[in-house]
Structure 1
Amino acid sequence: MKHRPRVLAFLILLFAITYIDRVCISVAGPRMQAELGISPVMWGWVTTMFTLSYCLFEIPTGALGDRIGPRRVLTRVVTWWSVFTSLTGMVSNVWALLVVRFCFGAGEAGAFPNASIVIARWFPARQRASVSGVILMASQIGGALAPLLIVPIQMRYGWRASFLVFGAVGLLWSATWYWWFRDSPREMPGIADAELAEVRDNPSAPHGGFPWRVALGSRTVLALLGTAFCYVYVYSFFQTWLHTFLVRGRDFGEASLLLSAMPYTVGAGANLLGGAASDALVRRLGPTWGRRTLGVVGLGSACVFTIGLAFTRDPGITVLLLSLIYGAIALQQSGVFGVCLDIGGSHSGAVLGMMNSSAALGGLVAGLAYGYIVEATGSYDAPFVPMAVLLGVGTLLWLRIDAARVVGSEPGHQGAAATVAVPVRS
């Protein structure tokens, strides 16, 4: 049996756990705010502490994974964030909660960059967006399962118990990962020559430092960072404010929060479809327009749906539009990860870390902005205005992203075609 399916299974479990742990606080939000006396503005700071540390540690953990390998880095960060997931359930005041959530975010910052290193080393280039779509789908499944798992635990045992349970699950994953996984196929005992041959041209550990000046002078990299900021500003709403919005902005009861699984379910399918479609479009149109096309369609559609959401109070239509917004963003997300691997080469972890840092910055701003906008206007709908605007900006930025330009390989900051580049079919 090939080893790649097992590697993919580990990544699927990782990202299901990641999003269950991450969404746990969103589901528990109304109960936590009531018990600990947290105002909307202070709750914005609670969610922001996660995104602040997530933003700060993305690039360092991505670069560390490039250098020493994702086996050790993922073991460390999953163990770290699982401990702080459990500690979230033990806090007695908002100040302790702020510290714990900052530490939790520092751990989770390593997940996506190091998973990208695993994909870049273990999977053929033609499957980059497809495999990214599969693991992103797993994260959505985790998000969809979170309310179904957490709400019953909360209703029976209280909100604290859910954090303790899911922290233990992460510790089990990290121990098993370290025991079995190896940083490259060449290091894996018993791997077949045929499987090695499929990835013989894949990047390994980099031989030099990351070309920061070249990367930050690249139009593609800057547009990619801007796009990530814009869509994650909106995306973070679903991870931090969704359940509070449904309860306080649309009068949902606690039992009705089970409906909040729908956006994640739609997002799971969209991630999987988007990854396959992005790779198929690359084969048909080449890397530049192959990646761009789905990005423009996804964020453009999400912008339209967000505008519609601000004008309805019907519970069913609200859930439907939330699902469509989330799904449209998820449709293009696999392509974003594909671009990072296309242009990153042996520095894929650092490139994805840069992208995710910018994305986390968008989430950080959103977490604060939402609380202050609600406090200032008294409306849980007012924040949808900047969300729609940023989705429109992100749509335009996709037109400046060129996945055929490899960071650091080009004279004058313009690169040669990436390894996924293929002739355009006539």
Structure 2
Amino acid sequence: MDAVTQQQLGSSSMKLSRGSRVRFGILMVISVSTAINYLDRANLAIVAPALSADLRLDAAQTGLLFSAFSWTYAILQIPAGWLIDKVGAKLAFGYALIAWSLATCAIGLARGFGVLFGLRLALGAAEAPAFPANSALVASWFPKKERGTATAAYTAGEYVGLAVATPVLAAVATALGWQSVFYLCGGLGLAWAVVWLTRIRNTPKGHPRVSPEEMRLLADGGAVVDTPKHDRASWSDVLRLLRHRRMIGILIGQFAISSTLFFFLTWFPSYLVRAKHFTLLNAGFMASIPYIMALIGVFFAGSWSDRMLKRGTSVNVARKAPIITGLVGASVIVLANFTDDPALIITIMSLAFFAQGMSAISWSLVADIAPVGKFGVTGGLFNFIGNVGGIVSPLVIGYIVELTGSFVGGIGYVAVVAAVGALAYIFLVDNVERLQTN
């Protein structure tokens, strides 16, 4: 700890002598921002039945629109990680939020497949810095024993936004047209960008409201409280990460986690309407139930993981057990192929998405294993591979539906990929500890 940090520890405001909790305010801003992030990538799924009918798009074209987001999002993950390591999470995420909100508004103006496809590519490019930035902030603002819960909190933002907004946006689309959904979501993001840019700090060091007690808690608990020095960005950083077996296992697991997630973010409402004959409005309300269950799942997994750590369980077990349990549980989605009962379908999907939510705390591993000064590029690589799943999953499901006229094969694909992800964590991920790449 350098002299500046020592001075902060010794002379911070007396009015915060009881110990500040600034990190939780930072986490709140991250969580709301993540909710907006996921709402803007998933709102297409909510209005897809109406939009596809209006613009006369077939299932393959709809699948391409769902997948297009992930093409640029995935490709730009590693460059986005370098950007975060260079300029910091605050600016990288803040300006990205403005850019993707403008792209969201523009989607409401689109009147053809080509324009929609281009805007979905732009949306994916703009959102690329989001999750690597989140991971970098958690590594700086939370000690290891709180990272599972912190990761669960911002990851839960994915599901909170969708659980609350899915029925609301379905009602808005029914009443005002599908275009209004994009105007509403984009405007919300532009307003929130002001909050992000004024409230977020990259690290606790120098923050005027961080007390000596909180700074000591963070520093002693393994948080990166000062801005680390960064080497020049290089593809060799990526190659060095890929030499580690545990990194390969985590990447395979993230491909599986994202493949399951992207079914719910893209095809799920259309699945309810086209395969199970729900109305758009009913699908919007019923689809919110699995999102709520996923929210519960991610908080359950985060708190379970951190409780195990506090009780002395090894970090290997504490981090991996919820993820493996979640991936195995997500494979129960295949049972939906054997019933047409609406209540049973929603129950199965809720259980599968609860389990998927559990596995989503995998982002806590990035904060745990990323080399110091390489949080951005590690998170970028992690999210790149995950979003290859986001590219593949909607396309595979779309083409299966187009070729067979049924979702049966698509649901089976999701279940198999989830099981493979669980096996990768069991057999490839060994010690959960910070990687050395020098």
User: What's the TM-score, normalizing by structure 1?
Assistant: 0.92
Corresponding position of 2:84: 65
Instruction: Report the alpha carbon displacement of residue 24 of structure 1 after superposing the two structures with TM.
Output: 1.0
For residues 195-248 of structure 1, the C-alpha deviation after alignment (integer angstroms, 9 at most, x for no partner) is 222222522334335732321111000111111112211210100111111000
- 1:268 and 2:289 matched: no
Q: Secondary structure at the match of 2:218?
A: coil
Q: Secondary structure at the match of 1:285?
A: coil
Corresponding position of 1:241: 267
Amino acid at match of 2:137: V
Instruction: Report the alpha carbon displacement of residue 264 of structure 1 after superposing the two structures with TM.
Output: 0.6
Q: How do residues 165-180 of structure 1 correspond to structure 2 at under 5 angstroms?
A: 165-180=184-199
Corresponding position of 2:325: 297
Corresponding position of 1:115: 134
- 1:94 and 2:113 matched: yes
Report if aligned partners of 1:69, 1:205 keep a CA contact under 8 Å in 2.
no
Instruction: Report the alpha carbon displacement of residue 46 of structure 1 after superposing the two structures with TM.
Output: 0.7
Instruction: Report the alpha carbon displacement of residue 349 of structure 1 after superposing the two structures with TM.
Output: 2.3
- 1:401 and 2:433 matched: no
Instruction: Report the alpha carbon displacement of residue 174 of structure 1 after superposing the two structures with TM.
Output: 1.1
CA distance in structure 2 between the aligned counterparts of 1:261 and 1:374, rounded to whole angstroms: 23
CA distance in structure 1 between the aligned counterparts of 2:232 and 2:417, rounded to whole angstroms: 33
Q: How do residues 186-225 of structure 1 correspond to structure 2 at under 5 angstroms?
A: 186-200=205-219, 201-203=222-224, 204-209=227-232, 211-225=237-251
CA distance in structure 2 between the aligned counterparts of 1:67 and 1:340, rounded to whole angstroms: 18
Q: Secondary structure at the match of 2:383?
A: helix
Q: Secondary structure at the match of 2:409?
A: coil
Amino acid at match of 1:311: F
Give the aligned length.
Answer: 408
Report if aligned partners of 1:267, 1:331 keep a CA contact under 8 Å in 2.
yes
Corresponding position of 1:424: none
CA distance in structure 2 between the aligned counterparts of 1:217 and 1:409, rounded to whole angstroms: 9
CA distance in structure 2 between the aligned counterparts of 1:32 and 1:179, rounded to whole angstroms: 36
Instruction: Report the alpha carbon displacement of residue 378 of structure 1 after superposing the two structures with TM.
Output: 1.0
Instruction: Report the alpha carbon displacement of residue 403 of structure 1 after superposing the two structures with TM.
Output: 4.5
Corresponding position of 2:34: 15
Q: How do residues 5-404 of structure 1 correspond to structure 2 at under 5 angstroms?
A: 5-200=24-219, 201-203=222-224, 204-209=227-232, 211-257=237-283, 258-283=285-310, 284-303=312-331, 305-334=332-361, 336-346=362-372, 347-399=374-426, 400-404=428-432
Against the structure 1 CA distance between its residues 407 and 33, is the aligned structure 2 distance closer, same or farther, given a 3 Å change threshold? Answer: same
Q: Secondary structure at the match of 1:90?
A: coil
Report if aligned partners of 2:238, 2:381 keep a CA contact under 8 Å in 1.
no
Instruction: Report the alpha carbon displacement of residue 162 of structure 1 after superposing the two structures with TM.
Output: 1.1
User: What's the TM-score, normalizing by structure 2?
Assistant: 0.90
Instruction: Report the alpha carbon displacement of residue 129 of structure 1 after superposing the two structures with TM.
Output: 1.3
Amino acid at match of 1:287: V
Report if aligned partners of 2:72, 2:124 keep a CA contact under 8 Å in 1.
yes
Instruction: Report the alpha carbon displacement of residue 194 of structure 1 after superposing the two structures with TM.
Output: 1.7
Q: Secondary structure at the match of 1:185?
A: coil
Against the structure 1 CA distance between its residues 190 and 298, is the aligned structure 2 distance closer, same or farther, given a 3 Å change threshold? Answer: closer
Amino acid at match of 2:407: Y
CA distance in structure 1 between the aligned counterparts of 2:45 and 2:394, rounded to whole angstroms: 12
Corresponding position of 1:419: none
CA distance in structure 1 between the aligned counterparts of 2:333 and 2:182, rounded to whole angstroms: 31
Report if aligned partners of 2:167, 2:281 keep a CA contact under 8 Å in 1.
no
Amino acid at match of 2:155: L
For residues 271-302 of structure 1, the C-alpha deviation after alignment (integer angstroms, 9 at most, x for no partner) is 11111112223443212222222222111122
Q: Secondary structure at the match of 1:275?
A: helix
CA distance in structure 2 between the aligned counterparts of 1:62 and 1:207, rounded to whole angstroms: 12
Instruction: Report the alpha carbon displacement of residue 409 of structure 1 after superposing the two structures with TM.
Output: 5.5
For residues 137-159 of structure 1, the C-alpha deviation after alignment (integer angstroms, 9 at most, x for no partner) is 12101111122220121121111
Against the structure 1 CA distance between its residues 113 and 403, is the aligned structure 2 distance closer, same or farther, given a 3 Å change threshold? Answer: farther
Report if aligned partners of 2:149, 2:299 keep a CA contact under 8 Å in 1.
yes
CA distance in structure 1 between the aligned counterparts of 2:107 and 2:401, rounded to whole angstroms: 25
CA distance in structure 2 between the aligned counterparts of 1:191 and 1:209, rounded to whole angstroms: 31
Amino acid at match of 1:309: A
For residues 336-369 of structure 1, the C-alpha deviation after alignment (integer angstroms, 9 at most, x for no partner) is 1111111104222221211111110011011111
Report if aligned partners of 1:23, 1:146 keep a CA contact under 8 Å in 2.
no
Which aligned segments of 4 or more residues in structure 1 are displaced greater than 3 angstroms? none
CA distance in structure 1 between the aligned counterparts of 2:229 and 2:335, rounded to whole angstroms: 47
For residues 301-339 of structure 1, the C-alpha deviation after alignment (integer angstroms, 9 at most, x for no partner) is 221x122111111111111111111110111211x1111
Gaps of 5+ in 2: 1-19
Report if aligned partners of 1:278, 1:291 keep a CA contact under 8 Å in 2.
yes
Identity of aligned residues (%): 26
Gaps of 5+ in 1: 411-426
CA distance in structure 2 between the aligned counterparts of 1:297 and 1:242, rounded to whole angstroms: 22
Amino acid at match of 2:31: I
CA distance in structure 2 between the aligned counterparts of 1:2 and 1:388, rounded to whole angstroms: 41
Amino acid at match of 1:202: A
